[in-house]
Chains A and B, each alone.
Chain A
Amino acid sequence: MAETLTHTQTEPRPSGWQGIAADWSSDQRAFKNVSWGKAMMWIFLLSDTFIFGCFLLSYMTARISTRVPWPNPSEVFALRIGGSDIPLILIAIMTFVLISSSGTMAMAVNFGYRRDRRKTAILMLLTAALGATFVGMQAFEWTKLITEGVRPWGNPWGAAQFGSTFFMITGFHGTHVTIGVIFLIIVARKVWRGDFDTGRRGFFTSRTGRYENVEIMGLYWHFVDLVWVFIFAFFYLW
């Protein structure tokens, strides 16, 4: 897949803006040393950013234009632990778990490029486990809110849009995490089996993969984490 030939770097390329201009006015590739797969993932993430952006903007519009009170997040998202209400405790743990999974993902990418198959696969599975934990805690949070009477069409404390935007946006993000977990497991299996060394072809695409796939997977994963930071800030901290 877009394997770079060895004789490309014969003359030094200019750096900075001149380098960008030179690359874009050159033939073959606008982003030198960027493979097809990586370019495709970046452009997909750009498109996905617009989806999350539209979701969050719609949420903000609903929140600033509502004429009934918006439920107080510190109270709604509090857990009663040891006799006292601790605000945002669950969401703090969830955020911690998800950000940690970005760390393990970055380590997996590193070990992937070192061709350490075992460590790469284990770290990817650990990332997947952290992601699954996140989704599990989200399911717990949803259950708690639903038992307290929050529904997409209304809730006991105020604006109906609280429940609708909450379930929609966290649900859409949770779907992203779930898809990520599935693909992490698939890529981890490929790494473990040594597909990227033996040149085994993909079941669907009948193409050979490379260790760069771990990094491309990582791009997606970091993106999902980054989006969560925005959801966290706009939904729970506002």
Chain B
Amino acid sequence: MVDITPADGIPPAEVAEVELYHPHSWWTRYVFSQDAKVIAIQYSATATGIGLVALVLSWLMRLQLGFPGTFDFITPEAYYQFITMHGMIMVIYLLTALFLGGFGNYLIPLMVGARDMVFPYVNMLSYWIYLLAVLVLVSSFFAPGGPTGAGWTLYPPQAIMSGTPGGQDWGIILMLSSLILFIIGFTMGGLNYVVTVLQGRTRGMTMMRLPLTVWGIFTATVMALLAFPALFVACVMMLLDRVLGTSFFMPAISEMGEQLQHNGGSPILFQHLFWFFGHPEVYIVALPAFGIVSDLISTHARKNIFGYRMMVWAIVGIGALSFVVWAHHMYVSGMHPYFGFFFATTTLIIAIPTAIKVYNWVLTLWRGDIHLTIPMLFALAFIVTFVNGGLTGLFLGNVVVDVPLSDTMFVVAHFHMVMGVAPILVVFGAIYHWYPKVTGRMLNEMLGRFHFWVTFLGAYLIFFPMHYLGLMGVPRRYAELTDMTVMTESAHHLNSFISIMAFIVGFAQMVFLFNLIWSIRHGREAGGNPWRATTLEWQTPQTPPAHGNFGKDLPIVYRWAYDYSVPGAKEDFIPQNMPGSFGPSREPA
């Protein structure tokens, strides 16, 4: 441990370095690996794989909606199964796992200047339990009766009744078991991410010098550790209702003219538990996106992030507020009007910190040296999409407007814009941004631009018409509309149009996957820091970073993550681990 002079103002190391686990074989190096970077790639690959299943499911749904009655194999039951699995996979097994398990694992240790997560063994277990959860989920496709068709919210009583696909078969049991496994696995990883950020930073790395990516992932993980328990409890209770015949969520109810055993349970209780998890979940997906996009914009506009502290507090504030808004998903459940009033108020208050973030992104771009690289394109697309999705959120957050719009395609369009398209655009931007660090090569530029424009414009062509359909009263979760008179004549072909667009956008994702694989070998050599970025992951001695991340000595951090275009500095970026003073930095004191 090198001691440095007090003049640098960096305190000495508080804890000795931990000896890393050194793999002895191919198996422990690449399969049962304890290296966070390998675990991150395992998480990302698994999430992408299961995400492809969800993508295919969305195509099948669009086939049915766009061309009803054409495809015999898509029965109404199958349609419900597609809807359910598509939603659940996309929200939990793809986005949550990719942002926290994928980006979290790769970026947290590198960005805070640590050799690895604090407990690599637990981190490894986290991935394998996640994989098990995914396998259990996939197995439900092959179980008798197929996967559950209860809708991704799994509302009882219908979720465990025989009228719902998988309700009295294996589907719902496998779904609930898989969720329970996912939560256990996630908790193992999540504890690691939180403790690494809090207790495992390198010398000089204060919380207020963390890149916003780390702040976003960190806050989202803390939220997940507090929100997933509600889902865990709901899953356990519904599993007992289904398997043991308890009545937690099941009221006295008859099915096919026959009185069921259940008596006295509360379906509303499930809704409360589910949305106490479900609403924070929206921000568990959104906050890492907020963080990552801040870094992309700052790096590719060669300008410090505007209002760094405000950005941090906005992330924390959104995280805290998201725990007191859950019942805005339940306006039509028959709640007391004062309840609705309370939850509408808290919901709309969230607009303040989110608006602060949007203004700060725009002000970061203001008079910046904007490079329209692919990550930057995706970041800009995110801002626009997020604002669009957020504006429809104002409609749905108000009780009186929500009630007529509830359960229409408007809701589908809203949440796809705000927590589907917007975060996935950031995922793409982040992959184009960090792929050179992970593989040492750039992704193909031309394919990337093609991917961007088709995805960006296509997503709008899919989801804008959906708002319109929803305003006309077209309900969601209907396999087929037998009565088309709810729509004006001119809108009759919109569903086919949306479907064709969905296939085109889906095809663009295949191009992206091809690009990912092709560029591993054939991409342009990237070098260690192709974007000339300041954060620690770009300053590693090797690219891709070796086991232990940072050579012999850990980096020492002398500045915040946003010293771009500092007047008087030789280069337009100053890495965080570069000592010395170069001129008027905008780092908050």
17 more A-B residue pairs beyond the given contacts A31-B199, A47-B191, with a C-beta to C-beta distance below 8 A: A2-B118, A27-B204, A28-B199, A28-B203, A31-B198, A37-B119, A39-B198, A51-B232, A53-B229, A54-B276, A62-B265, A65-B266, A159-B264, A160-B263, A161-B248, A164-B246, A164-B248
Query: Is B207 a contact of A152 with CB atoms below 8 Å?
Result: no
- Known contacts A40-B119, A40-B195, A168-B240: A27-B201 contact under CB 8 Å: yes
Q: B10 interface residue, CB < 8 Å from A?
A: yes
Q: B31 interface residue, CB < 8 Å from A?
A: no
Which residues does chain B contribute within 8 Å of A168, judged by CB atoms? 236-237, 240, 246
Q: B464 interface residue, CB < 8 Å from A?
A: no
The 5 closest A-B pairs by CB, nearest first: A164-B246, A50-B229, A54-B233, A51-B229, A153-B245
Q: In chain B, residues 235-263, which have Cβ atoms closer than 8 Å to a Cβ of chain A?
A: 236-237, 240, 244-248, 261, 263
Per-residue contact bits, chain B 271-303, to A (CB 8 Å; 1 contact, 0 not) = 001001000000000000000000000000000
Per-residue contact bits, chain A 43-62, to B (CB 8 Å; 1 contact, 0 not) = 11011101101110010011
Q: How many positions in chain A have a CB within 8 Å of any CB in the partner chain? A: 53
Chain B residues in the interface with A (C-beta under 8 A): 1, 10-16, 18-19, 21, 118-119, 121, 187, 190-192, 194-195, 198-209, 225-226, 228-230, 232-234, 236-237, 240, 244-248, 261, 263-266, 269, 273, 276, 557
- Known contacts A36-B195, A62-B269: A3-B201 contact under CB 8 Å: no
Alpha-carbon separation in the docked complex, A48 to B188 (Å): 12
Other-chain residue from A3, A29, A62 in contact with B248 (beta carbon distance below 8 A): A62
- Known contacts A27-B10, A153-B245: A44-B191 contact under CB 8 Å: yes
Which residues does chain A contribute within 8 Å of B198, judged by CB atoms? 29-31, 39
Query: Is A29 a contact of B264 with CB atoms below 8 Å?
Result: no
Alpha-carbon separation in the docked complex, A53 to B273 (Å): 11
- Known contacts A3-B16, A54-B230: A160-B246 contact under CB 8 Å: yes
Which residues does chain B contribute within 8 Å of A165, judged by CB atoms? 248
Query: Is A206 a contact of B21 with CB atoms below 8 Å?
Result: yes
Which residues does chain A contribute within 8 Å of B13, judged by CB atoms? 5, 28
Which residues does chain B contribute within 8 Å of A44, judged by CB atoms? 187, 191
CB distance from B278 to the nearest CB of A (A): 14
Which residues does chain B contribute within 8 Å of A5, judged by CB atoms? 1, 12-16
Q: A81 interface residue, CB < 8 Å from B?
A: no
Which residues does chain B contribute within 8 Å of A53, judged by CB atoms? 229
Query: Is B557 a contact of A27 with CB atoms below 8 Å?
Result: yes
CB distance from A162 to the nearest CB of B (A): 10
Closest chain A residue, CB of each to CB of B19: A207
Closest chain A residue, CB of each to CB of B190: A47
Q: A66 interface residue, CB < 8 Å from B?
A: yes
Alpha-carbon separation in the docked complex, A145 to B212 (Å): 55
CB distance from B225 to the nearest CB of A (A): 4
Alpha-carbon separation in the docked complex, A28 to B15 (Å): 9
Which residues does chain B contribute within 8 Å of A47, judged by CB atoms? 187, 190-191, 225-226, 228-229
Q: A18 interface residue, CB < 8 Å from B?
A: no
Query: Is A161 a contact of B201 with CB atoms below 8 Å?
Result: no
Q: A68 interface residue, CB < 8 Å from B?
A: yes
Alpha-carbon separation in the docked complex, A40 to B501 (Å): 47
CB distance from B262 to the nearest CB of A (A): 8
Closest chain A residue, CB of each to CB of B187: A47
